[in-house]
Amino acid sequence: MKKINIEAVAKTAGVSTTTVSRVINGISTVSDANRQMVLEAIKKLKYHPNPSAQRLASGKTNTVGLIIPRFEGIFHSYYALQVIKGVGIAAERARCDLLLHITDGKTRPASSAVDGIIFVDIYGCEELLDQTLEEGVPTVVLNHYMADLPVHCVAIDNRTAAEKVVDFLLKLGHQDIATITGDLKTQSGLDRLDGFVKALKDRARPAREEYIRFGDFGLPSARTATEALLAMKDRPTAIFVASDEMAQETINVALAKGVRVPEELSVVGFDDNPIAAHGRVPLTTVRQPLADMGRLGLELLLQKGKKSAPTKLLLPTELVERQSCRQTWIER
């Protein structure tokens, strides 16, 4: 069967190929009569425009670049998969394509290949972000609240989340509360620590320096930090850990050392990763709307792009109570 092309449509409609192209691409400089003849010819011949040709003619790619800073275990990361899921759902609804680009901070998709770019965090990608904005490419940043830079962003309210955790543990009677941080090179890791310290200070219970242990979102750092805390003579009765995977490792280390969770140690994580509900001790954690963050990021890019004042969204979290925390009657 002979493939129907734009020339055949033009011949059937009795117009030029330029007129057919303008009708297909929604250009308004076509008379109503000619537009009607072209549409009837398309229907009669069952012509289906070539998407690539349409994009070339319109100057748009109908493609959004999704840039993710490279980190170990990225393809097994709950965080990354949830964000990609949210962006993907929004892209499917908008009928646009995604170009996934994982980078070490040195490369990004060519501006001509995409209509806009979404950065999934900017750790290590600060120069790429600057280049993108200088070129005038519509841009949205996820998981990093850009207070000063003129760019759209959607982030998580990590500080308030940490404050809620502190209030929850204080309500349970815990006085000696420790934390194991995430990577403080990331805004999320730093904000969770800042929220924790501020909450204790505001409630007249300043954080003890030795109760702050520094991690990097990895299991080895969680293990080392937990071992150090449990080796203390006046060890904490509760630990706020910056991610669920790290929190699960904290629980594993505690149980291995004969420290009962939650009877002797309460643990709170962050993420609401599915593992949180199905570990050895179901984990109390902070649920952050990662998929919603991704979805809103793409919707924001498509709705506003670079033509409006920057929109900055800070999404709320939810504390999910499970069995890793309990009231304490230990007095110091």
Domain count for the chain, please give it.
3
Which range has the worst mean pLDDT, 112-126, 272-286, 298-312? 298-312
**Domain span at residue 101?**
63-157+290-316
Q: Mark whether 165 and 43 lie in a shared domain.
A: no
CA 56 to chain centre: 31
Same domain membership, residue 212 and residue 102: no
User: Which comes out higher in pLDDT, residue 19 or 221?
Assistant: 221
Give bridge partners of residue 266 from the DSSP assignment.
238
Q: Where are the alpha helices (DSSP H) in 218-272?
A: 219-230, 244-256
Structure tokens at 300: 């924001």
Q: Which amino acid is at 282?
A: P
Q: How far apart are CA 119 and CA 81, in angstroms?
A: 14
Answer positive or negative: Cα dihedral of 61, 66, 69, 70: negative
Share of the chain above pLDDT 70, in %: 92
Residues 140 and 181 in one domain: no
The number of angstroms, rounded, from the C-alpha of 123 to the middle of its chain's C-alpha atoms is 13
Spatial CA neighbour of 74 closest among 65, 62, 83: 83
Mean pLDDT, rounded, of the chain:
90
Both 140 and 228 in one domain: the answer is no
| pLDDT tens column, 248-284 | 999 999 999 999 999 999 999 999 999 899 989 999 9
What is the identity of the amino acid at 167? Answer: D
pLDDT of residue 300: 94
The CA-CA-CA angle for residues 240, 244, 245, to 5°, reads 120
Q: Report the candidate in 332, 299, 293 with the shortest Cα–Cα distance to residue 316.
A: 293
Cβ-count burial 103-114 (b if 16+ within 10 Å, e if not): bebeebbeeeeb
Q: What are the residues whose beta carbons fall under 8 Å from the beta carbon of 221, sequence distance 6 or more?
A: 180, 214, 215, 246
pLDDT of residue 56: 43
Alpha-carbon gap, residue 11 to 20, rounded angstroms: 10
- Residue 29's CATH number: 1.10.260.40
Please report which confidence band the pLDDT of residue 307 belongs to, taking 50, 70 and 90 as the band edges: low
- CB 285 within 8 Å of CB 269: yes
Q: Do 14 and 27 share a structural domain? A: yes
**pLDDT tens for each residue of 60-72:** 678 999 999 987 7
Instruction: Return the closest-CA partner of residue 144 out of 309, 312, 300, 273.
Output: 312
Same structural domain, 165 and 269:
yes
Q: What length is written for the chain?
A: 332
Residues sharing a CB contact under 8 Å with residue 112, sequence separation 6 or more, in sequence order: 61
> Within this chain, do residues 294 and 150 fall inside the same structural domain, yes or no?
yes
The reported pLDDT for the residue numbered 112 is 81
Residue 323 belongs to a domain:
no
Are both 191 and 224 inside the same structural domain? yes
* 166/225 same-domain check: yes
The better pLDDT of the pair 198, 134 is held by 198
What's the sign of the alpha-carbon dihedral 83, 89, 94, 99? positive
Q: The domain spanning residue 153 has which CATH number?
A: 3.40.50.2300
Strands 63-69 and 116-120: parallel
Task: Return contacts of 230-233, CB within 8 angstroms, 24+ apart.
Answer: 230/254, 230/257, 230/259, 230/265
The verdict on 47 and 68 lying in the same domain is no
Taking residues 74-99, what's their average pLDDT? 91
Let me know: does 261 contact 239? Beta carbons within 8 Å.
no
pLDDT, position 44: 86
What six digits make up the tokens of 319? 């504390």
Count of other CB atoms within 10 angstroms of residue 59: 9
Rounded to two decimals, the pTM is 0.80
Give the contacts of 51 (CB within 8 A, at least 6 positions apart).
62
